[in-house]
Amino acid sequence: MPAAEPPVRTVRPRVWTKALVIETVLILSVPVILGAAVGFFEINPVEAELLTPVGFEAHLLLESFPDNALVVEIAYQRSAGPPPTSAVSTLLNRINETCSKGTVTVDEHAFDSSAPSFGEGDLLSTEESVRQHWPVPGEMSLFYLYLEGSYSSDPSVIGVAYRGSSIAIFEGTIARDASLFGATVAVTTTVMVHEFGHELGLVGIIGNAPNEDMTHPPHSDDPHDVMYWEVDTTGIGALGANPPTQFDAADLSDLATVRSTPIWTELVPWAVLASCVACAALLVHLDLRARTRAGTE
């Protein structure tokens, strides 16, 4: 009678060896490092804000989550003086009509600069040195540089949204333009609201906007709308002494589209996180299978 075959000895190795733990931690740290680099966790807001394209923070401005509070910071070149109270009041009305924030506060302060003109690099460096409110968890911020100097790239420009929460208003250009005499407060009000509209993704920056004037993107084709294309420059004088300060019905419809349109920069960290979790799971699976096989040989 032949001897019985000895039973196959099955060894179940430990799942979490020291080497596997280290490898998994390294993989899962990738999204954390990348997220920190792009400001996803709002722990390096300066770099994040100076990188974000216009309109790409529309959801952070429009929605109550994750930031239920909004600070509107206005840093004015001392020679330009603070913006008219009525202009700020109208801007706040438009913010409250469009953004779902629990609290909206204004912080105005002066800064000293004798620069007669500002290019985009100057706007960024000035912002970095004078901006006091950067987005932090729970609180979004919208920043205005209110300038006596002009825009060096185009001296007719009276306002520009240059980053996702950063706007420049060229008040000196408005005040010096003869065609705008007598209408400076109204023009300032209009352009402050207009640039805010761009930060909300109007018109067509985020999502499809049927009212976008394709010959002057990203603007409206309605001269009675604050997002009309002539508002960015001294050409606003063509709209008369009382240019529009309201978002029209088409803009408000566009904002509903903006709210439901994914912004790809918001999805990237989740995609990276999902990829890294999948890689870690695959690593654990392959490592465990290899050691199980080794144990059965």
Closest-approach residue to Zn ion (CB): 232
Residue 28 phi, psi dihedral angles, 5° rounding: -70, -15
**Least spacing, CB of residue 56 vs Zn ion, in Å:** 16
**Least spacing, CB of residue 226 vs Zn ion, in Å:** 10
Residue 138 phi, psi dihedral angles, 5° rounding: 95, -15
Of residues 199 and 232, the one with the C-beta less far from Zn ion: 232
Amino acid identity, residue 270? W
CA quadruple 240, 213, 233, 127: dihedral, nearest 10: 130
Stretch that binds Zn ion, among 9-17, 120-128, 229-237, 239-247 (CB under 5 A): 229-237
Of residues 180 and 280, the one with the C-beta less far from Zn ion: 180
Of residues 52 and 220, the one with the C-beta less far from Zn ion: 220
**Least spacing, CB of residue 103 vs Zn ion, in Å:** 28
Does position 232 bind Zn ion by CB under 5 A? yes
- Is residue 208 within 8 A of residue 65, CB to CB? The reply is no
Of residues 31 and 159, the one with the C-beta less far from Zn ion: 159
Q: How far apart are CA 158 and CA 234, in angstroms?
A: 6
**Least spacing, CB of residue 227 vs Zn ion, in Å:** 7
Number of residues that bind Zn ion (CB under 5 A): 1
- Is residue 196 within 8 A of residue 227, CB to CB? The reply is no
Write out the binding residues for Zn ion, residues 108-147 only, by CB under 5 A: none
DSSP for 238-288, written as a single string = GG-SS---S--HHHHHHHHHHHHS--HHHHHHHHHHHHHHHHHHHHHHHHH
Does position 67 bind Zn ion by CB under 5 A? no
Does position 212 bind Zn ion by CB under 5 A? no
**Least spacing, CB of residue 159 vs Zn ion, in Å:** 7
Stretch that binds Zn ion, among 13-21, 77-85, 173-181, 226-234 (CB under 5 A): 226-234
Stretch that binds Zn ion, among 3-11, 231-239, 249-257, 275-283 (CB under 5 A): 231-239
**Least spacing, CB of residue 232 vs Zn ion, in Å:** 4
Instruction: Name the token pair of 106.
Output: 């204004």
Q: How far apart are CA 95 and CA 88, in angstroms?
A: 10
- Is residue 91 within 8 A of residue 72, CB to CB? The reply is yes
Q: H or E segment at 151? A: strand 150-151
**Least spacing, CB of residue 243 vs Zn ion, in Å:** 13
Q: Edge-to-edge strands of the sheet including 103-111?
A: 103-111, 69-77, 139-147, 166-170, 159-163
**Least spacing, CB of residue 161 vs Zn ion, in Å:** 7
Of residues 139 and 199, the one with the C-beta less far from Zn ion: 199
Rounded to 5°, the CA angle 120-126-127 comes to 90
Stretch that binds Zn ion, among 45-53, 173-181, 230-238, 242-250 (CB under 5 A): 230-238
Of residues 139 and 232, the one with the C-beta less far from Zn ion: 232
Question: Which residues of this protein are in contact with Zn ion, per CB under 5 A?
Answer: 232
